[in-house]
Homo-oligomer: A and B are copies of this chain.
Amino acid sequence: MTMSLHSDRLFPADNHTRQIARQLYQSVKSLPIISPHGHTDPGWFAGNQPFENPAALLVQPDHYVLRMLFSQGVSLESLGIRRKDGAAVEVDPRKVWRRFAEHFHLFRGTPSRLWLDHVFGEVFGLTGRLSAATADQYFDHIQSCLQQPEFLPRALFERFNIEVIATTESPLDDLRHHQTLQQSGWRGRVITAFRPDPVIDPEFEGFIDNLKQLGEITGIDIQGFDDYLQALRQRREYFKRFGATSTDHGHPTANTQDLSLQDKRELFLTVLSGAATADQAETFRGQMLTEMALMSVEDGLVMQLHPGCYRNHNQALFENFGRDKGADIPLQTEYVQALRPLLNKVGTDPGFNMIVFTLDETSYSRELAPLAGHYPALKVGPAWWFHDSPEGMRRFREQITETAGFYNTVGFNDDTRAFLSIPARHDVARRMDCAFLAQLVAEHRIDQDEAMELAYDLSYRLAKEAYKL
């Protein structure tokens, strides 16, 4: 069995449309990768050490893979995921890999399958399909590759033709890896992004301690709201020194606020005391988004909002294994009322740039396209997470474009910690955008020359400009 890595993959079946898609794709497939938002580990590039083994590289850190296997009865223990209580889990990476290979059919029709096949074929040069029968052959081949210098993180970075990649760090991070990188002389551009959830969300694990740590790092004695804002301002400046051009915010809702100064100060004291109710915490988060927006006007950082996820839905799994194991579930998310306070404050400010994402596709045509198609500061981020997939991308373009056009969107984000899948993900996005544009051309809704220009914009230019890269 060969794997499905056909050169026409994801292009429309209709022959005429497919030919247009091919032409468009030819013009963009080799463009450098702009990766303005993601979760790769900067330590990989700073240290440039070999990746450990196929399971540790491709199975254990991938929450898409874990959730699918878990949903079909494969325990996380049997996949070698460390338990918090230290109880025994599988330690042999080959056994983990075999378990994964035996269940590879589960991924039929999912983007994980497309990404993995791309990694197997394009990165490792494998040709048969992964299965129980080929598991060991795959394992051995990948394992031997990983020992070679051309599979070290920096070599892959260069081979992947990455022009720039952003990682994501907490304000409490000292950015040591980014410091190392800056001093290393390596030309790969790895920048940070400012993700302040741990110090602006009163319900974040360890919030009060985090504030203390923020005070220590900045040398500011955080007694009141003004001190607190000052400390945040200082950290934003620090992040900018390591290339940051954006902030990112992962709130449960898109709620924003515009309280009076006195209300803000009082609310902060309540929050600082640890006595905030759930409602007060939500109000505080909402106000802090507006504060972050105001700081963005000052310092030019592009603001990203990723709302609407119920984190750690499975309580027992969270207690045994911690975060990011595939148990986060999207929630219905309202934007029109929620973003109004912030947008009325800075939505038309030429110095402000905001990119909003959603896990609730119903908001595409009803809320986000109309908002982004009006407010100069607002753009819609690409199809995100569960929707970072061929059908998800198709729905995104079909539901966003007619109201917001192409130019109120910002190209593609891979948003991943799975470093090897980055070229695969950008390739899927480029193919799907070319397929969408090809249909518009085939139906005489835009002209071929416009589609060529758009293919370039969606694959490269818009991301670069929207994130000021």
Contacts and interface: CB of A to CB of B under 8 A. Distances in A.
A146 to B, nearest CB: 28
Contacts of A350: 73
Interface in A391-450: 391-392, 398-399, 401-408, 439-440, 442-447, 449-450
Nearest to A364: B361
B373 A6 contact: no
Nearest to A388: B402
Q: How large is the interface on A (under 10, 10 to 19, 20 to 34, 35 or more residues)?
A: 35 or more
Interface stretch (A8-16, A48-56, A202-210, A297-305): A8-16
A445 B4 contact: yes
A444 B4 contact: yes
A314 B405 contact: no
22 contacts: A4-B444, A9-B443, A13-B439, A15-B16, A71-B374, A72-B407, A105-B450, A109-B402, A109-B406, A109-B446, A110-B405, A113-B445, A129-B447, A313-B340, A314-B344, A327-B374, A330-B370, A332-B334, A359-B366, A361-B362, A390-B443, A392-B402
Contacts of A334: 332
A365 interface: yes
A106 B407 CA distance: 6
A137 to B, nearest CB: 19
Contacts of A439: 13
A110 B370 CA distance: 12
A399 B113 CA distance: 16
Interface in A324-369: 326-332, 334, 336-337, 340, 343-344, 347-348, 350, 359-362, 365-367, 369
A218 B306 CA distance: 54
Interface string A262-295: 0000000000000000000000000000000000
Interface string A369-388: 11111111010000000110
B106 A314 contact: no
A200 interface: no
A68 B405 contact: yes
Given A106-B407, A107-B405, A391-B398, 10 more contacts: A5-B444, A6-B444, A15-B16, A109-B402, A110-B405, A111-B402, A310-B336, A314-B348, A330-B366, A365-B386
Contacts of A35: none
Contacts of A401: 109-110, 391
